[in-house]
Amino acid sequence: MSSTYGENLKLSIFGQSHSPAIGMVLDGIPAGLPVDTQRLQEFLNRRAPGQNDYSTPRREEDSPEFLGGILDGFTCGAPIAAVIRNRNTRSGDYANLRDCPRPGHADYTAQIKYGGFQDYAGGGHFSGRLTAPLCIAGGLCKQWLEERGIRIGARIASIAGETDDIDLDPLHPQLDLIGKDFPVFSPASGERMRAKIAQARTEGDSVGGIVECFITALPAGLGEPMFGGVESRIAQIVYGIPAVKSVDFGAGYACAYMRGSQCNDAFTVENGTVRTLTNHSGGILGGITTGTPVIFQAAFKPTPSISRPQQSVSLSQSQIQELSVRGRHDPCIVPRAVPVVEAAAAIAIFDLILGNTQTDRRK
- Sites for a copy of itself among residues 222-281 (CB under 8 A): 223-229, 231-233, 235-237, 239-240, 242, 244-253, 255-269, 272, 274, 276-277, 280-281
- With contacts defined by CB under 8 A, how many residues of the chain interact with a copy of itself? 155
Q: Residue 30, interface with a copy of itself (CB under 8 A)?
A: yes
Pair 211, 241: CB distance under 8 Å: no
Nearest-approach distance from CB 176 to a copy of itself, in angstroms: 25
Report the alpha-carbon angle 138-144-149, nearest 5. Answer: 115
DSSP-assigned states of every residue in 164-182: PSPPP-TTS--GGGS-SSS
Q: Residue 339, interface with a copy of itself (CB under 8 A)?
A: no
Binding residues among 281-320 for a copy of itself as defined by CB under 8 A: 281-282, 284-291, 299-306, 308, 310-313, 315, 318-320
Q: What are phi and psi of 71, to 5 degrees?
A: -140, 125
Nearest-approach distance from CB 90 to a copy of itself, in angstroms: 10
Among 41, 66, 99, 166, binds a copy of itself (CB under 8 A): 66
Q: Residue 328, interface with a copy of itself (CB under 8 A)?
A: no
Separation CA 65–CA 258 (nearest Å):
50
Nearest-approach distance from CB 37 to a copy of itself, in angstroms: 14
Separation CA 92–CA 230 (nearest Å):
44
Binding residues among 73-132 for a copy of itself as defined by CB under 8 A: 74-81, 83, 101, 103-106, 108-110, 112-115, 117-119, 124-126, 130
Q: Residue 191, interface with a copy of itself (CB under 8 A)?
A: no
Q: Residue 357, interface with a copy of itself (CB under 8 A)?
A: yes
Segment contacting a copy of itself by CB under 8 A, of 42-50, 53-61, 135-143, 201-209: 201-209
Nearest-approach distance from CB 187 to a copy of itself, in angstroms: 21
Pair 152, 215: CB distance under 8 Å: yes
Specify the residue, 174 or 309, whose C-beta has the smaller distance to a copy of itself: 309
Binding residues among 145-174 for a copy of itself as defined by CB under 8 A: 148, 158, 160-161
Give buried/exposed letters for 92-116 (b at 16+ CB in 10 A, else e).
Answer: eebebbbbbbbebbbbbebbeeeee
Side-by-side strand order, sheet with 4-5:
4-5, 10-15, 21-27, 80-85, 65-68
Handedness of CA 113, 116, 119, 122 (dihedral sign): positive
Separation CA 154–CA 132 (nearest Å):
17
DSSP-assigned states of every residue in 328-353: ---S--HHHHHHHHHHHHHHHHHHHH
